Amino acid sequence: MQMKLTEIAHALHIEMQGLTETTITQVVFDSRQAQPGSLFVPLVAARDGHDFVAAAFENGASATLWQKDHPLPAGAHNYLPVTDTLAALQQLSHYYLKKINPLVVAITGSNGKTTTKDMTAAILAEKYQVVKTQANHNNEIGVPITILSMEQSTEVLVVEMGMDHAGELAALSSLVDPDIAVITMIGEAHIEFFGTRAKIADAKMEITQFLKPTGTFIYNGDEPLLRQRAQSLTQEQLTFGRQSSNDLRASQIVPTKEQTTFMTNKWPQQQFLIPMLGDYNVDNALAALSVGARLGVELPKMQQALAHFQPTKNRTQWLKAANGAQILSDVYNANPTAMIDVIKNFSRVPAAGRRLLVLGDMLELGEQAADMHAQVAQAINPDQIAAVYLYGDLMKSLQVALKQSLPVYYYQLGQMDLLIAALKKDLKADDMVLLKASNGLHLDQVLAALLP
């Protein structure tokens, strides 16, 4: 970005004298990332960002926001006083978005939103100047920071949106006014806060509240909860999935260890390839193809983009252990639908040795947590899986459900060292192992212990 400090003050309705005119090229909320040209945003959270304003200036920051309920330091210079720093960050991002005026593709869903975002951005980059959400910075802070990272040449913004509670997606939708809104699917993620999948669907549909009247709503048509709710919208709608009623549907899906191929009804003579394991990732590709086709990207370029896109780290990523074993890392997040899907796909991958599972708790499932963990047993076939390692208090329910149908090793929270030691001792060079859990279980530490 490039904005004069006086323009930022104007955008935030701040009238003040004595600003040193300077060009802001970056907005940060971590003082360690500050440098000349940075506007520092001191957010008030578990740690109060105002405590780090001095450090931001020491690192070269050119200006800072400052929440008015904090005493202004003596001699403060290029401090922009605002009522609420987070609200000001969002207000500034909305102003900047209107200034650059790109097409906006907003993506949410219980599963697959990060992968769909990566696929969509790769496809659209074949025709447009694209900026996308980095990593999974998809909340009330990450979305405005993504907006403010755009260069003036940006033609399309692909923004991922997450949520934990009702109202969050409506607020994010109001920030970006999407031209295209995408819902990948409805699962059980955050059901602790919503109670039912129907209420999760209601919350996901909030992404359409600020969809432009001329915009397009693209969603998984295999989900009755979405089809039902989409009937109230007047915007153009496109569906994707496996059922014959969808506008774009997949067939002849062939998953292998490191890639998956499929065909579609829209381009019946053309095969698509994605460099990922998992037929569930085909649905993400269908969503991305729907966006690409809607925005006029040529078919060969869409095929090329899908075949070579780079997924965000720790999304069904194959790695090699120090002893040569193959690791399928999917440790960023987990819910029952996603865990069952990845286990089923992993179980079909040809293996020279054994297939092992390392599964950790799935969080935010509320009162249904025990039952939902037990349900994962349906995906574990003793003819395909040699042993299961379970970590976390909730995984006790899965241990019971498996009923000693195969070797199961259970470790409570706090026993990760024991898990790592046992796994290192058991893992052979020709084995394959899947690691899957919610991010809060920190199975990335198990992964790190297995890598060279």
What is the CATH classification number for the domain harbouring 148? 3.40.1190.10
d(CA 119, CA 158): 10
Cα dihedral across residues 119, 121, 123, 125: positive or negative: negative
Establish whether 261 is an annotated binding residue: no
Residues 280 and 158 placed together within one structural domain of the fold: yes
Q: What is the pTM of this model?
A: 0.91
Q: How many domains does the chain have?
A: 3
Cα dihedral across residues 140, 142, 145, 147: positive or negative: negative
> Alpha helix locations (H) across 205-311?
224-230, 280-294, 299-308
Tally: H helices and E strands in the chain: 16, 21
Chunked in runs of 10, what are the mean pLDDT values of the chain (452 residues)? 95 88 96 97 96 97 97 92 98 98 97 94 98 93 97 98 93 98 87 82 97 98 97 98 97 91 97 92 97 98 97 83 96 88 93 97 91 96 97 97 93 97 97 95 96 96
Residues 217 and 105 placed together within one structural domain of the fold: yes
Q: Are 353 and 432 within 8 A, CB to CB? A: yes
- Domain assignment present for residue 88? The answer is no
Q: Give the pLDDT confidence score for residue 164 in this predicted structure.
A: 84
- Domain assignment present for residue 71? The answer is yes
CB count within 10 Å of CB 189 equals 29
d(CA 71, CA 18): 19
Residues 59 and 203 placed together within one structural domain of the fold: no
What the block records as the tokens of 333 is 């997040």
Q: Are 233 and 246 within 8 A, CB to CB? A: no
Establish whether 115 is an annotated binding residue: yes
- Domain assignment present for residue 120? The answer is yes
Residues 328 and 303 placed together within one structural domain of the fold: no
Residue 204's closest CA among 233, 240, 161?
161
Residues 6+ apart with CB under 8 A from 192: 364, 365, 366, 367, 369
Q: Give the pLDDT confidence score for residue 79 in this predicted structure.
A: 96
> At 27, which amino acid appears?
V
Buried-state track 299-333, b at ≥16 Cβ within 10 A, e below 16? eeebbebbeebebbebbbbeeebeeebbbbbbbbb
Residue range of the domain that includes 395: 317-450
Residues 303 and 336 placed together within one structural domain of the fold: no
Residues 120 and 56 placed together within one structural domain of the fold: no
Mutual angle of helices 168-176 and 85-100, in 10-degree steps: 40
User: Which H or E run includes 403?
Assistant: none
φ/ψ of 357, rounded to 5, equals -115, 135
- Domain assignment present for residue 91? The answer is no
Residues 303 and 348 placed together within one structural domain of the fold: no
Buried-state track 415-432, b at ≥16 Cβ within 10 A, e below 16? ebeebbeebeebbeeebb
Of the candidates 273, 308, 343, which is a domain's last residue?
308
- Domain assignment present for residue 105? The answer is yes
Mutual angle of helices 280-294 and 336-347, in 10-degree steps: 110
* DSSP 8-state class, residue 26: E
Query: Interior CA angle at 138 toward 229 and 197, to 5°?
Result: 35
Q: What is the CATH number of the domain that holds 34?
A: 3.40.1390.10
Residues 105 and 21 placed together within one structural domain of the fold: no
Residues 159 and 232 placed together within one structural domain of the fold: yes
Q: Are 11 and 50 within 8 A, CB to CB? A: no
Of the candidates 308, 330, 363, which is a domain's last residue?
308
Q: Give the pLDDT confidence score for residue 190 in this predicted structure.
A: 65
Residues 120 and 204 placed together within one structural domain of the fold: yes
d(CA 133, CA 117): 8
- Domain assignment present for residue 90? The answer is no
Establish whether 109 is an annotated binding residue: yes
Q: Give the pLDDT confidence score for residue 364 in this predicted structure.
A: 86
